[in-house]
Structure formats: structure tokens, C-alpha cells
Amino acid sequence: MDNNDRYDTGMGIRRATMGDEYVDAALDRTAGTESARIQEAVTELVCGAACGADPDWTARPVACSPSRC
């Protein structure tokens, strides 16, 4: 899985877990700032690589957080 695949997988997991409104607000709030890279990293590495690696993953409350993955 390459970086784009991990990001796409992570965004799907993040949206399924946190909801579109929450994710969109977080992305909008950090757009154009240094924090935008943190949003990308969380989406790709935490949600995409860690949660996305679990073949039995299903949307659960707060599943897309470092403590869950």
C-alpha cells in the first residue's frame, strides 16, 4: 500500500469513525497552516496504516485515535 492508498483508506476510516462534519471542520481549521501536515499524518499513518491494517476493522467510537489503533 503506498502513501496515497494509506491516506485514502485513512480518510474513509476517519470519516466513518468521526463523521464528515468533524473531519471537514478539522481540515478547514488547519488548511494553509503548519498543522495541515499533522492532519495528513494522522489520516495516513494512524487511521490508514494502523487501523487500515486490521482486516476486521469496523467503525467504532473513537477507533481512529492513537490509543485505539
Single pTM value for the model: 0.72
Q: Using CB atoms within 10 Å of the CB of residue 21, give its burial: 0 to 12 exposed, 13 to 18 middle, 19+ buried.
A: exposed
Q: Write down the pLDDT at residue 66.
A: 47
Q: In this predicted structure, what is the pLDDT of residue 59? A: 59
Q: How far is CA 59 from CA 3, 9, 28, in A?
A: 22, 13, 23
Determine the pLDDT at residue 20. 93
pLDDT in tens, the chain (69 residues): 666 888 988 898 888 888 899 999 999 999 999 999 998 988 888 887 777 777 666 655 554 554 444
